[in-house]
Chain A
Amino acid sequence: MTDKITDIHAYLGEFDDIPGTRVYTAKRARQGYHLNQFAMSLMKAENRERWKADERAYLDEWPMTEDQKLAVLARDYNRLLDLGGNIYFLAKVFSTDGLSFLQAVSTMTGMSVEDYQAMMVAGGRSPEGVRSIKEHR
């Protein structure tokens, strides 16, 4: 245990060493700004209506990249994380679809909802082997 962060590059570099995890860094926040603000707009009922009526047209009102728009349309949440999405903002999209956190989160794991829920009830995913890519622990 140490609280001495002496080099911001080393601090950020360690985040890429965690398997299956995208830490929401400033870089991602910048990349995903409009994506996340689009998702935030779905907090308003009138926006949800317009979104449901024509998703593509709604997305085209936002200065997002084509990749981001396609990933939203495909509800590809892992891809959206890679493109700067943050899970609490993306939650506005899956909530509008009527999905719970558990249902939406399971889609990122490659497991069925039932298998994922069973894993959680059995105590969750063990940290064993998924702490560090470099150190295989």
Chain B
Amino acid sequence: MARITHGIACSHIPALGVASDFDKWEDPYWKPIQEGFAPTQKWEAENLPDVVILVYNDHASAFDMKIIPTFAIGCGESYKPADEGWGPRAVPDVEGHPDLAWHIAQSLILDEFDMTIINEMDVDHGLTVPLSMVFGKPAKWPVKVIPLAVNVVTYPPPSGNRCWALGEAIARAVESFPEDLNVQVWGTGGMSHQLQGPRAGLINAEWDQMFLDKLSGDTQELRHIPHIEYLRETGSEGIEMVMWLIMRGALGKETRELRRFYHVPASNTAVGHIVLEPVNGEVPPSTTVEGNNAAAQSLID
């Protein structure tokens, strides 16, 4: 049986990718961030999963305005780093896990999450920067990755509540996969930042820390934060934090914080990072007809 072992959340600021790719970590501006992630890199090497389900958003790279999927899951064999206008990042290709991804996709759809299935796409900094922050600069990424892209660009994005519930459905899907696999779920993006308009540059450290605090324990308060609160308190791009709630939902009823890092700024943005462990990984059972239909469930590969 596959199991979810840990959850990680991490900002995916493009400038962090630049700092990694061009070896700027010794620069005084970047050094605190490098030091903040160094213990996680060590921890991750000792707790390496087989697969990471990596929740992120695309930034006008694989998806333009032609197609805007709310939730999309990558079921492909591999993904190349996207050319975001200045050439692709010099990082390894991302290897997928099509069997687990298709299994999750089927399970989620029967659970009434109407996923978009992506078999071919390039992945941008939203996905590759967290890999760099947690794994550094290996010749090959040490895990397989299932990309899970969320629309947080065009309003309305999914609610925090829906994201949390999707996480719970992902947990049910992983648990029913017969292969013996350790799986981590990562939520990326955030924390407070605003990249547009006269209010650009907004940072709300107090709110960000509140959010980090409430990711652990058994509180479900975060799932009820409305979009307008993210917008007012954390800047127009702070809404990316709803993606962290997919990770949190997947960890079940109660979690424990293993480590945390918070730093302002990287470019325009507050860098937030947390590692969580499930204490009680229980999630509610499926509420849907097909989710409880033995015949439908037995069709899932």
A and B found bound together: yes
Give chain A's interface residues, CB within 8 Å of chain B: 1-3, 5, 11, 14-15, 18-26, 29, 33, 36-37, 39-40, 42-43, 77-78, 81, 86-89, 91-92, 95-96, 100-102, 105-106, 108-110, 116, 119-121, 123-127, 130-132
B138 at the interface (CB under 8 A from A): no
Given contacts A1-B226, A89-B65, contact A20 B267 (CB under 8 A): no
Docked-complex contact A92 and B60, CB < 8 angstroms? yes
Q: How far is the CA of A81 from the CA of B64 in the complex (A)?
A: 17
Asked if A3 and B65 sit within 8 Å, CB to CB, the answer is: no
> Chain A: which residue is nearest B193 at the CB level?
A124
Q: Given that A15-B231, A23-B236, A105-B196 are contacting pairs, would A125 and B153 also be in contact in the complex, using a CB cutoff of 8 Å?
A: no
A5–B159 CA distance with the chains assembled, in angstroms: 10
Docked complex Cα distance between A108 and B194 (Å)? 11
**How many residues in B have their beta carbons less than 8 Å from beta carbons of A?**
51
User: How far is it, in angstroms, between the C-alpha of A3 and the C-alpha of B226 when the chains are bound?
Assistant: 5
Chain B residues whose CB sits within 8 angstroms of the CB of A110 once the complex forms: 198
28 A-B residue pairs with Cβ-Cβ distance under 8 Å, sorted by A, are A1-B224, A3-B223, A3-B225, A11-B228, A15-B228, A18-B199, A18-B231, A20-B198, A21-B196, A21-B199, A24-B154, A29-B154, A36-B60, A37-B65, A43-B83, A78-B198, A86-B154, A88-B60, A100-B267, A101-B267, A105-B268, A108-B196, A121-B265, A124-B202, A127-B202, A127-B233, A131-B232, A131-B233
B221 / chain A contacts, CB cutoff of 8 Å:
1
Instruction: Report if B24 contacts A (CB, 8 A).
Output: no
B interface list, Cβ under 8 A from A: 14-15, 59-61, 64-66, 83-86, 153-156, 159-161, 192, 194-205, 207, 221, 223-229, 231-234, 236, 264-265, 267-268, 270
Interface of B is mostly: loop
Q: Give A57 to B203 CA distance when docked, in angstroms.
A: 40
Nearest B residue (CB) for A90: B196
How distant is the Cα of A14 from the Cα of B224 in the complex, in angstroms? 17
> How many Å lie between the Cα of A127 and that of B205 in the bound state?
10
Closest CB in chain A relative to B224 CB, distance in Å: 4
Residue in A closest to B64 when the chains form the complex, CB atoms: A40
Residues of chain A lying within 8 A (CB to CB) of residue B195? 87, 101, 105
Contact partner of B155 among A1, A23, A42, A131, CB < 8 A?
Answer: A23
Tell me if B153 and A18 are in contact (CB < 8 A): no
Beyond A102-B268, A125-B201, whether A25 also contacts B232 by CB under 8 A is no
How long is the Cα–Cα vector from A22 to B231 in the complex, in angstroms? Answer: 10
A88-B59 contact given A21-B236, A95-B85, CB 8 Å threshold: yes
Contacts of A25 in B (CB 8 A): 154-155
Q: Nearest Cβ in chain A — how far from B116, in angstroms?
A: 18
Instruction: Give CA–CA (A102, B231) in the complex, Å.
Output: 20
A4 to chain B, nearest CB (A): 8
